[in-house]
Amino acid sequence: MELTFKSAIEQDSKEVFLNTLEFADSHTINGNKMPAIVDDNELLERDKAHLLNADISGLYYSRRLLYVAASDFGSRPIPDSFLQLDSAMYRVKSATEEAGIYAIEIEAVRA
């Protein structure tokens, strides 16, 4: 089978971007271990809420962006579904796919 440009990009993304020796770490997602990158911008989101006076209820949203290979994860998660990352539960805000990698925005509400 001939390697297409698109399949070469997808293979490179997984072998380079999601390489646990370079960028990714091993995480348990919905009970399955897989390489993933977690962008934890909780402090940035908390600061935004504080600056915008959006945090009047005493709650704040912990938001993270999860990058994982579509082939490892399975079907793309749908918004408002739940996802377990390691030992914590999150709600899926959005999910997009590019070059065989999902970018999944997840959030948890904390008091």
Please state, in angstroms and rounded to a whole number, the distance separating the CA atoms of residues 104 and 98. 11
Note the pLDDT of residue 11. Answer: 78
The DSSP call for residue 79 is T
pLDDT band at 12 (very low <50, low <70, confident <90, very high): confident
> Taking residues 93-108, what's their average pLDDT?
93
User: Taking the model in full, what pTM does it have?
Assistant: 0.78
The mean of the pLDDT values for the chain is 84
Note the pLDDT of residue 56. Answer: 58
Note the pLDDT of residue 33. Answer: 98
Note the pLDDT of residue 7. Answer: 79
| Beta pairing class for 60-69 and 101-110 | antiparallel
Closest by CA position to 15, among listed 38, 35, 39, 1 = 35
In the chain, what are the domains? 5-110 (2.40.10)
What percent of the chain lies above the pLDDT cut of 90? 51
Cβ neighbours for 10, distance < 8 A, ≥ 6 positions apart: 99, 100
Higher pLDDT, 8 or 44: 8
Tell me the CA distances in angstroms from 22 to 15, 16, 39, 63, 65, one per residue in order: 10, 7, 15, 24, 18
